[in-house]
Amino acid sequence: MPALNETLGRRVRYRAKKRNPRHRCMPRGHWVHVSSRVVRGRYAFVPPEDGGLFVLLMWGIIGRAQIRYGVDVAIAVVASNHLHCLLRSDRPGAISAFMQYVKAGFARLTHKTYETSGPMWDGPFRASTILDVKAEEFWFAYI
């Protein structure tokens, strides 16, 4: 519906945006399963013949993020084209900051190692909060 903008004396059209709001509330103290895929499912985390340095650097990124953001990491699995983690934190926003740091660090490391560029991750990470013991047992066994 057009509305009159009195300061400019002309009509301005306002359009309501349809949004799909993301769930940004993660309960504190619960384990959260997070996963993220590489764009187009390509095999980005295949270690080159460097004696394991690539893998050590990846674990170093996870360790630095853990210390920096105060996140407990129960399990972290880095497959050739995706990442799974079971995380827990009492600080609001810490898991999101942790994942941002890890994903950016992995992208920089992979681009530098393989001399590539462009997008690395297929969108934002997916997170599901583990609220009961059965779900906890399932995710610990799955990962």
Q: Tokens standing for 69?
A: 């953001």
State residue 52's pLDDT score. Answer: 79
The pLDDT confidence band at residue 23, using thresholds 50, 70 and 90, is low
**Residue 117 maps to a domain:** yes
At 95, which amino acid appears?
A: I
pTM metric for this prediction: 0.77
Higher pLDDT, 20 or 65: 65
Evaluate whether residue 11 is within a structural domain.
no
User: Does 121 reside within a domain?
Assistant: yes
| Domain presence at residue 32 | yes
Which domain range does residue 34 map to?
25-142
Q: Tell me, what CATH number does 111's domain have?
A: 3.30.70.1290
The alpha carbon dihedral of 67, 62, 76, 82 has a sign of positive
- Cα distance from N-terminal residue to C-terminal residue, the chain: 51
pLDDT in tens, 81-135: 999 999 999 988 899 999 999 999 999 999 998 898 999 999 899 998 888 888 8
Calpha distance 130→121 (Å, rounded): 24
| Model pLDDT for residues 34-58, shown as the tens digit of each residue | 999 999 888 888 877 776 788 889 9
Q: How many domains does the chain have?
A: 1
* 92 within a domain of the structure (yes/no): yes
User: Confidence class of residue 25 from pLDDT cuts 50, 70 and 90?
Assistant: low
- Looking at the domain assignment, is residue 15 inside a domain? no
- The answer to whether residue 141 scores a pLDDT higher than 70 is yes
The answer to whether residue 18 sits within a structural domain is no
Half-sphere exposure of 8 (CA within 13 A, CB side): 6
